Structure 1
Amino acid sequence: MEFYIGWSHSDAIFCDYFPQCPVLISAIPDNRGGVKRYKNKPSKLILDCGSVFYVKQKVRPPLKDVFDIQLSLLEDCEKEAIVRMVHFDEPLLNKFSLSERYMAIERTLFNAYEYFNIFHKCNLPKSVQPMGVIQGYDQASIEFSAYELIKMGYTKFGIGSLLFKHQTQQIEMIRRAADVVGPSNLHVFGVTGIPQLSAMVDIGVSSFDSTRPTMAAAFFQVFYSRPFRTFFLSESRAKPTSPRLENPLHCECPVCENDARQILVPSPREYMKLRSIHNYYHLLRTFNDILENKKRRSEHVVSNVLRTGN
């Protein structure tokens, strides 16, 4: 299971600090040419369609225009990079009635069919594959969406529209999608709560992405791990009872090893970027700890079975 950091043109370049860092980039106009700024090009990349961005615009671009932005980002990547290109979907955000949700799912599937055809006409390298987006508002609609994508020929999938749902419902929907398409073929968009991460590790999904380190840094929040916890800078407008950080704690991230006081400087943006690097380090560390604990549990179960057999 892998952690893809969500990246946009104004964010810190995480690969410059963590060369093996998988990255998700949305195909929006401002991100064109962004990969050219990387000192270390990502070896694994998801080129998202940017639907959450476009759904807030007055006019949606044609699917082909979004695909062209994805191709421009792909051209700036290393030829050996493993890339997943996400078709243009219709998020269920702000879709409240049953008819609105159904129409969004239908539009997503129509776009998936059109995208699949456009993608295969380009004769891209085998290391570049299309990713179908599973949209649904309950387990039945998730199952329907997933099976339709399989019929079209998709073999890699992502599940979306999980934001603003309770963590129990998120886990149930992820599990149902994994049951249909296989957990090793499933990416989870934008779910990063610690209980959800633990559940996704147990389910065995392929990957997930997050912009949480950057978003938290922008709102004057600092992560630490072992155990995972969040502190607010003194300048934050969070509730007075929220935990504050006056002095940095011990940390071995690339930023703190240079000067730990930098993560406590609220602005300008360059300090926010450094804070996001620090936050990424601790969220990644927490995720890796969850993976390691899962591995240990599995080894313990195997050893118990062997002892029982003797």
Structure 2
Amino acid sequence: MSKIEMGNYAILFVDKIKELDQYFDKFNNHNKVFVITDSTVYGLFKANFEELTKREIVWLVVPAGDSNKNTDSYLKLLTDLIEKHLNKTDLIVAFGGGMITDLTGFVAATIYRGVRFISIPTSLIAQIDSSVGGKNGINYSSYKNQVGSFYDPVMVLISHEWLEKLPERQILNAMGEIVKTALIGDLKLYEYLEKNPNIEITQKLIKKAIMIKRKFVLKDYYDQNVRHVLNFGHTYGHAIESESNFSISHGEAVAHGLLKSLEIGERLKITQPGLKDRVEKHLFKAK
């Protein structure tokens, strides 16, 4: 096991989770845990998860899809958690992709003015981005991530095993975020990705992407200045997601947003000429 320290919490990396109680026990010794997930992850991994803990699991399942990261889901989760007798010292687990880590973080931040939560991201885009940095929130109406907070998990637990059952498209969706991260923080990494468009996604690559994001997060946790760089491609990307009613995935939208941003940068002569075409060819080859 290895880890990355994020200030108030750690991101732990394990090849395969053998049991979860050793992690839960660091924060309380209760006999139950509240797990928020979506319908897809629940169908794929419910049995696996239940084998990893002796605690009673209180499942809260949200319909899959980013269009369900909304006020209705948020309010229903608050109601369900209160009716299922969540208390201030209980532990909530975000078990899923970026939609679930965003939604659960906001629920945990606001219910009872803050309840501890652990994030177990099951998608590549959640492992490299959504579960890292303390941002969480929900979509409001057709507007992406307009309601939220900054609230850290007490732990992020990353395991490659969850990625093994993901459709290939979900892996490819994360390439927009990986390319963005390399462009803003490690040009050598970008050049390597460019030469190897169908690179195997390894724990080493995930760690590299997280370490780049970590640098910006620790300098500007509340997103007032330098952390804005992490939004490269996201202004257009979020607009594309919203306009599609979230039928276009976040990773695909960010990829298109990167290209549009680079195109404008070249027109303004603040971006290296030809970079937009290079990135477009890379993303096309990766798909």
Q: Considering the TM-score relative to the shorter chain, is it more than 0.5?
A: no
TM-score category, normalised to shorter length: 0.3 to 0.5
TM-score (norm 2): 0.39
Give TM-score, length-normalised by structure 1: 0.37
